[in-house]
Chain A
Amino acid sequence: MAKPLDLDRRWIFLAIGLLVVGLYVAGIAAEMPVNTYVQSYYDTIEALPEGSIVMLSADFDPASAAELLPMYQATIHHLLKRNLRVVNVATWPAAPPYTRSEFDDIAPVYEKQYGTDWVELGFKPGDDVAMGQIGQSVTSAYNKDDRNGGPLTDLPLLEEVGDSFQGISLLVTMSAGYPGILEWIAQAGGRYQIPILAGTTAVQTPDLFAYYPSQLSGFLGAATGATMYLQLVGADVPELAEATATNQSRMLIQTGAHFLIIALIVVGNIFYFLGRKEG
C-alpha cells in the first residue's frame, strides 16, 4: 500500500493552483492594519519640504515585479504628488524599462516635466562599486541622459545635485536582492549620512529589521508592506484606487496559500511521526 508521504506531488500542485485561482476569481479585498515600518516610510516622504530632490533606485527585475512594482508605482505617485523631484538610477539591468513606463504613465497626472521634475540616468554596472561611484558624484558616474541620449547638461535638475549626495534629501531603493538595500546602506547611508527608505521582497525583509530605524528610516516589506502603503497613499489618489483594491484582494490569496502551506507542514509531520512509530 502506498504511504501517505509518497503522495504524487502533482496533487499538491493542483491544490495550490486551485486555491490561488479560486481566491483570485472570488476577488475578496481585505484591509491591512498599517505597521510601524510602513508608517515611517510614508512619514519620511511626507516630512520632506516641497521641491526636495529624491534619488529613486530601481534595483529589481520582472521576477520580483509582483511584489515591488505596486510599491514602486505608489512611491512615484507619492513623490510627485508632494512636488518632490526625482533622480532615477538603477543597479539592475532589467529595471530601467519599468522606470520609463511608470513615469510615462504617472508624471502627466501631476503635470511634471522631464529634466526639471524628474530625470532618468539608467542602469549603472558595477554593483557596490557603482553605488559608491554614484554616491561620490552622480555626474561622474553617468555620462548621458538615459531617456533622450543627450548630455547631462541638458537636465536642469542635475545642476542642483553635487558630489557626495549634496542636494539630495533622500534615497529610496526598490530592492530585490544583491545589489540593493544592504549595499546602499553600506555605500551611501553611513558614509554620506543620507536617509534611506526601502521597498523589498518577502525573502529580504527579515534582514532589514536590524537596520531600522538607525540606518533605515522605514521600509515596505513584500506585498504586505505594499498593500499597507497603497492604503496610505491611495486614500486621496484616484489613480491608485484600482491598484489598492487589487493588492488588498491578493493579500487574501496569500492568506490562503500560507494556511495551505502550514496545513501541509502539520499533515506531513503527523504522517512522518506515525510512520516512525510503526517502525
Chain B
Amino acid sequence: MKREIPILLTILCGLAITWSFFSPQPVSQAVNDELLAWGTVFFSVAFLLGIGNLVRISLKQISARHPDWPYKALLLVVLFGYMIIGVAEIHGWFGIPDGQNLRRDWIYERVFQPLQATMFSLLAFYIASAAFRAFRARSLEATLLLTAGALVMIGQVPIPPFFPFAEAIGDYSVRLQGFLMAYVNAAGQKAIIMGAALGTLATGLRIVLGIERSYLSE
C-alpha cells in the first residue's frame, strides 16, 4: 500500500489537472481550483521543511566546529530574528498596529536590498576576469559563439558619439544584433522549447500512468 496509494493519487491528480485544461465544465474547474489550493499549501509546508533541514545542517556544523560555523550561527540568528520580528509585528506585540511593518521594512531596505544588489553587481568583475582567462576560441563552434556574443554585446549598447564612425557602427551593430536575436536565437530557442515540451509531456505521461516512479525513490 505504501507504493500503490501514492501512485493512485498521482494518477488521479494528474488526470484531473489535465482534464481541467480541456474542459470548461464547472466540475472540472472546481476540482482544479481545489487541487491548486492544495498545491499552494504543500508549497508553503515545503518552506517549513526547508527551514527544518537548514537548521539541522547548520546546528550540526556549529557543534562540529566546522570552519564555516560562525556563518552558520549568523544564518540562524538572522533567520529566526527576522521571523520573530515579522510575527511580532503581525500580531502587534511591539504595540505596532497591524499592517505597519516598520522594523521588517527597515531591515529589508537597509540590509537585504543593498546586500543582494552588491552580490549581483560582483558578477561584472567575475565575468571580466573570466573573459580574459576562460573564453577561448578553441574550436569553430567556440569561435562562432564568441563572435556572436561580442556582436550582440555591441548591438545592445549605444556607441558613444565621439567614436569614429559612431553612427554607422551603431546602425549596423543594432541590425546585426537584431538579426542574430530574432532569427538565429529565436529559431534555436523554439527548437529547444519544442523539444523540452515534448520531453515534459512524455515524462508527465509516464508519471501519470505510473511508469515513472523515481519520485517514490524507486
A: which residues have CB within 8 A of B? 5, 7, 9, 12-13, 15-17, 20, 28, 30-33, 35, 61-66, 94, 97, 124-127, 129-130, 132-133, 136-137, 140-141, 147-149, 163, 191, 202, 206-207, 209-210, 212, 222, 224, 251-252, 254-255, 257-262, 264-265, 267-269, 272
Contact digits for B19-57, partner A, Cβ 8 Å, 1 yes 0 no: 001000000010011001101100110010000000000
Q: Is B8 an interface residue (CB 8 A)?
A: no
Task: Identify B128's interface contact among A30, A127, A136, A261, CB under 8 A.
Answer: A261
Distance, CA A146 to CA B137, complexed state (A)? 52
Q: Which of A13, A252, A262 contacts B129 (CB 8 A)?
A: A13
Question: Is the beta-carbon distance between B156 and A63 smaller than 8 angstroms?
Answer: no
A144 to chain B, nearest CB (A): 10
What are 20 of the A-B contact pairs (CB < 8 Å)? A12-B128, A13-B128, A28-B160, A31-B158, A61-B116, A63-B120, A66-B117, A97-B109, A124-B40, A125-B43, A206-B181, A209-B185, A251-B157, A251-B158, A254-B157, A258-B154, A261-B128, A262-B131, A265-B131, A265-B135
Q: Given A125-B40, A210-B190, does the pair A147, B160 have CB atoms closer than 8 Å?
A: no
- Interface residues of chain B, those whose CB is within 8 Å of chain A, are 21, 29, 32-33, 36-37, 39-40, 43-44, 47, 98-99, 105, 108-109, 112-114, 116-117, 119-121, 124-125, 127-129, 131-133, 135-137, 146, 150, 153-154, 156-161, 170, 174, 178, 181-182, 185-186, 189-190, 193
Q: Which residues of A contact B44 (CB under 8 A)?
A: 125-126
Contacts of A210 in B (CB 8 A): 186, 189-190, 193
CB atoms of A133 and B36 under 8 A apart: yes
Q: How far is the CB of B175 from chain A (nearest CB, A)?
A: 11
Task: Give min CB distance, B96 to chain A, whole Å.
Answer: 12
Closest to A23 in B: B160
With A207-B189, A210-B189 in contact, is A258–B156 under 8 Å at CB? yes
Known contacts A7-B132, A264-B128, then 14 further A-B pairs from the complex at CB < 8 Å, ordered by chain A residue: A9-B129, A16-B124, A30-B161, A32-B158, A63-B116, A125-B40, A132-B36, A133-B37, A137-B33, A141-B40, A206-B181, A258-B154, A268-B133, A272-B136
